[in-house]
Structure 1
Amino acid sequence: MLDARVRPLIDPPLNRMGRGLAKLGLTADGVTLIGLAFGLLGALCIAVHLYGPALALILLSRLADGLDGAVARATHPSDFGGYLDIVSDFLFYGTIPLAFAIAAPEQNALAAGFLLTSFYVNGTSFLGFAILAEKRGIETDAQGEKSLYFSNGILEGTETIAFFVLICLLPQLFAPFAWIFGTLCFATAILRVIAARRIFKP
């Protein structure tokens, strides 16, 4: 919901940083994998109750996630780069609820399972929408220049990052926050399916 408003603010500095990284010889795919490594290390920190370091690593991961596209735009964007980026994002997003379940299984496991299911459904609705949009030749740059169609929703990248920051700051409240966020993920998926029925009708 907030991505379209945030992109005009963050894209100019990210693009400047991306050009600098490209001059240093870093590739977009390399930045994607560095961001994924930061995110996985953050999840590992959560699993062992190191929430402060986890938060720092998650923020570094999301910074890299913004920079990989900027590096690609400064060099040579590729379809594989976009594919690697979305696969890395989904892996990262999935490890955070899993890490909270490992950290406190009796308190968090059920809520984490619900949240992961909502991520799965929401991600499927997102990728399916992108495939049909590509098939129909529908394009958008509301969330910035992307290699695939990014449909909007109640929850997008900005809200997810804010949620991860919140649960790292207040890990004892993971379960109630996960139930709320997961419910909103399901609502986002349902609304996207309704939009797809309207847009992609025969």
Structure 2
Amino acid sequence: MEKSRSTPQHASGLEALIARARAEAGEKGLPPVEKWNPDFCGDIEMEIRADGTWFYMGTPIGRQPLVRLFSTILRKDEDGRTYLVTPVEKVGIRVEDAPFLAVEMDVSGEGATQVLTFRTNVGDVVEAGPEHPLRFEIDEANGGLKPYLTVRGRLEALLARPVMYDLVARGEEMKIGVQKMFAVWSKGAIFPISPADDLEIFK
């Protein structure tokens, strides 16, 4: 879990941040947050929980359009922390796991021509492939599988459990190098899930 630092003392406040986010969202496509290099203004009391729920000062943000708005100005930097970024400020937030949750998967084709398309809880639609890879971890707490999808930049979506089971159902055993792996195809790329001998952990 990312650690919060100091609370920013800038005068703009949350409402001004929302206004700037709305102004940038008015442009065509997603705001170019990767190109912006504003000063760091400290942290705000905002957190994204592991289930995808956003909180501000301990209270859930119930307005989905506002959550979607904030999601468009998210950026994860090389320091491993996640920020809300506008052209004039960068503020840190806490992220318990991944900032997004993949809640739906569509499958077209099969084998090497298979394409896995995911929808996130904030409305992104992403095709897994070389530019948006899948990666897999084992949950240290319970030994379960945790799949992640790169959405944009360094930002990832954790696959919701039902989506994870759908994904595993599309997997197949194949030899990668000298090792027999359980893996899944998407857009011509192979994404290893685990050694084939470890398949029991998914049952």
Same fold (TM over 0.5): no
Larger helix proportion of the pair: 1
Larger Rg: 2
TM-score (norm 2): 0.28
